[in-house]
Structure 1
Amino acid sequence: MTLSFESRALLRDVTLRDGLQLTGKMLTTDRKLEIARRLLELGVPALEVGSMARPDLVPPMANTVEVITELTPDELDRCWVWVATPRHVEKAAAAGAKHFQYCFSASDSHNQANIGRTTEDSLAAMPAAIELANEIGGSIQLCIATSFTCPFEGRVPQRRVIDIANDPRTVGAIDIVICDTLGQAIPAEVSSLISRVQWETPQRGIVFHGHDTWGLGVANSLAAVAAGAMTVDGALGGLGGCPFAPGASGNTASEDLLFATRPEWLSPSTFESLVQLSEATLAELGEPNRSKAAEGARSKANAFEWVIRE
């Protein structure tokens, strides 16, 4: 009998956006397309394929528009692009993007460092971003970074996140993304905040974006799903981090999330292919593999069906 943690827990792989932000090496447009298409082919439900952040500040995102342009409409149906301004939405939409993650921070200090404006300024611009997405028949998410802690201000009160989620200027966002940007939250905190978002804010899909800095990425993600999140973010091999958040390390590994949740589309052979894709990508970038599940898949416990036999 096949068991799964929660069949409704979907993975969005963010390797090509959050995963690449801190890498010292660039991936070509063609290589990004290869990775995106392979992930989609293997069954990953959704991807983040890039960011409209300034390329001089986040060089690995410089070819995001080219990636969007080369993806087919069917592929773009499963792809998200990080945006922070209405102009970002406009440029990404012109390239063919349909789904946008409008992101700003709960803490002003991080929003200033990350986006160059106050949280209030980001909120004030959101209705225009929503309108642009609606004009092309697209969709937009409200993404709240530093939902738990800020590298400059410390702990972020839950009330701050709830108030942002209830702000009338966010009406029209189909989902809300709750981000543990620094990976400092613990499962009880994640469960508490996700539950409050579910019951005290407008009905939207809930996404949890976790980092594994303190080793609780999977535990926090499972706590989020149990509390009502429909989607969790991860990156191959635990790649990534925020260049404007001192102390932030890689994302929760996609391999670890998939091994824990066992969605119906995942089989041992599919998992093997994902591990191989992850290993090749990380080797190309010169980055370590932080996935414990990938490490386990390379063990010698050959009686276990999830171990790779080579």
Structure 2
Amino acid sequence: MSGIVLRDVTLRDGLQLTGKPLPTERKVDLVRALLAAGVPELEIGSLARGDLVPPLADTLDVVAALTPEELDRCWVWVATPRHVQKAVAAGARNVQYCFSVSDAHNNANIGRDTEVSLAAMPDAVQHALDAGGRIQLCLATAFTCPFDGPVDPERVREIVADPRTAGSCDVIVCDTLGQAVPSEVGTLVERVSAVADGRRIGFHGHDTWGQGVANALAAAGSGATLVDGALGGLGGCPFAPGASGNTATEDLLFAFRPDWLTPAVLAGLVTAGEDLLGELGEPNRSRAAQGLRSRAAAFPWTAGPRS
């Protein structure tokens, strides 16, 4: 599936639950290392309140430190039209307008009902387009809600088909809790694709129940062309009880094998993930990283233990 775009979300979703902050300069260095490795797109931060999500409080500083060419491949999480204005004023080119399909999680996450977020989206779109940028529609809790349980897939379809989401370039469906299974993911991606009016479909998964890679493959098989991952499976939502880390970038890359990926590039990304997780004191959940460090010398994707 060489046409799949991998977006690394380490610097946004990956850092949300970390107890140890990562310096701005280290974030900028990581952005540049990932882009240089060939990762097509990155999510580099959030405009969420810094007092509520301290690891992301310096997002605008990260944006300001990057070049326009680098920012063309980077996304910033936003939840309001004002967020969009602040992001593009700092130089951001691409914003991900996110709200939850379930009211309960949207209120816990950004303090308003889903309908309020949806009603504000046209203004958010206009701010992004006026700045010459792009804006995604990102739907959290598209499968299950930590407070209300299973989410009606028809509600997801209705939001994507709503004319107030027009102008967005992509639709991202999120398995926020990692509770979906491949059959559910494939079915929802097909339903969303049918009403997306040509927009790119992305899948953002978590590996809570061990289905992260399988779900991403199911999404791709049903029409998604973008999948999200974080180095070492880092991350989770601070406002979603039961959410664990993202699907590991390394595991997704090993499964999808995009054209730009070579054994040496994968080894470099595994090393970058190991270094980052070591700095943060976080566990490495990537199975591909574990496999790469094995002594199976006859397999070209192994690199052996670090010296």
Instruction: Indicate whether 1:139 and 2:148 are aligned.
Output: no
Q: CA deviation at 1:7?
A: 1.1
Q: Who is 1:200 aligned against?
A: 195
Q: Is the 8 A contact 2:171 2:196 kept in 1?
A: no
Q: CA deviation at 1:203?
A: 2.1
Q: Is the 8 A contact 1:181 1:209 kept in 2?
A: yes
Distance, in Å, in 1 between the alignment partners of 2:114 and 2:11 is 25
**Count of residues in Structure 1 that have an aligned counterpart in Structure 2:** 305
Q: Give 3-state SS (helix, strand or coil) of 2:120's partner.
A: helix
Q: Which consecutive residues of structure 1, in runs of 5 or more, have no partner in the other structure?
A: 1-5
Instruction: Indicate whether 1:165 and 2:164 are aligned.
Output: no
- Percent identical among aligned pairs is 65
Q: CA deviation at 1:200?
A: 3.2
Q: Give 3-state SS (helix, strand or coil) of 1:117's partner.
A: coil
The correspondence for 1:272, drawn from 251, 267, 270, is: 267
Q: Is the 8 A contact 1:148 1:156 kept in 2?
A: yes
The correspondence for 1:286, drawn from 261, 281, 304, is: 281
Q: Is the 8 A contact 1:165 1:202 kept in 2?
A: no
Distance, in Å, in 2 between the alignment partners of 1:229 and 1:135 is 28
Aligned pairs (5 A) from 1:111-122: 111-122=106-117
Q: Who is 1:64 aligned against?
A: 59
Instruction: Indicate whether 1:178 and 2:173 are aligned.
Output: yes
Q: Who is 2:219 aligned against?
A: 224
Instruction: Indicate whether 1:23 and 2:12 are aligned.
Output: no
Q: Give 3-state SS (helix, strand or coil) of 1:208's partner.
A: strand
Distance, in Å, in 2 between the alignment partners of 1:93 and 1:78 is 14
Q: Who is 2:68 aligned against?
A: 73
The correspondence for 2:241, drawn from 246, 249, 257, is: 246
Instruction: Indicate whether 1:48 and 2:27 are aligned.
Output: no
Tell me the C-alpha RMSD between the 2 structures.
Answer: 0.6
Distance, in Å, in 2 between the alignment partners of 1:56 and 1:209 is 25
Distance, in Å, in 2 between the alignment partners of 1:17 and 1:123 is 22
Q: Who is 1:92 aligned against?
A: 87
Q: Give 3-state SS (helix, strand or coil) of 2:32's partner.
A: helix
Q: Who is 2:98 aligned against?
A: 103
Q: Which consecutive residues of structure 2, in runs of 5 or more, have no partner in the other structure?
A: none
The correspondence for 1:130, drawn from 125, 133, 143, is: 125
Q: Is the 8 A contact 2:12 2:56 kept in 1?
A: yes
TM-score normalised by structure 1 residue count: 0.98
Q: CA deviation at 1:190?
A: 0.2
The correspondence for 2:291, drawn from 282, 296, 299, is: 296
Distance, in Å, in 2 between the alignment partners of 1:14 and 1:254 is 9
Q: Give 3-state SS (helix, strand or coil) of 1:17's partner.
A: helix
Q: CA deviation at 1:303?
A: 1.0
The correspondence for 1:189, drawn from 175, 184, 188, is: 184
Q: Who is 1:3 aligned against?
A: none
Q: Who is 1:13 aligned against?
A: 8
Q: Give 3-state SS (helix, strand or coil) of 1:176's partner.
A: strand
Q: CA deviation at 1:302?
A: 1.0
Q: Give 3-state SS (helix, strand or coil) of 2:11's partner.
A: coil
The correspondence for 1:211, drawn from 206, 211, 216, is: 206
Distance, in Å, in 1 between the alignment partners of 2:22 and 2:234 is 14
Q: Give 3-state SS (helix, strand or coil) of 2:271's partner.
A: helix
Q: Is the 8 A contact 1:83 1:101 kept in 2?
A: yes
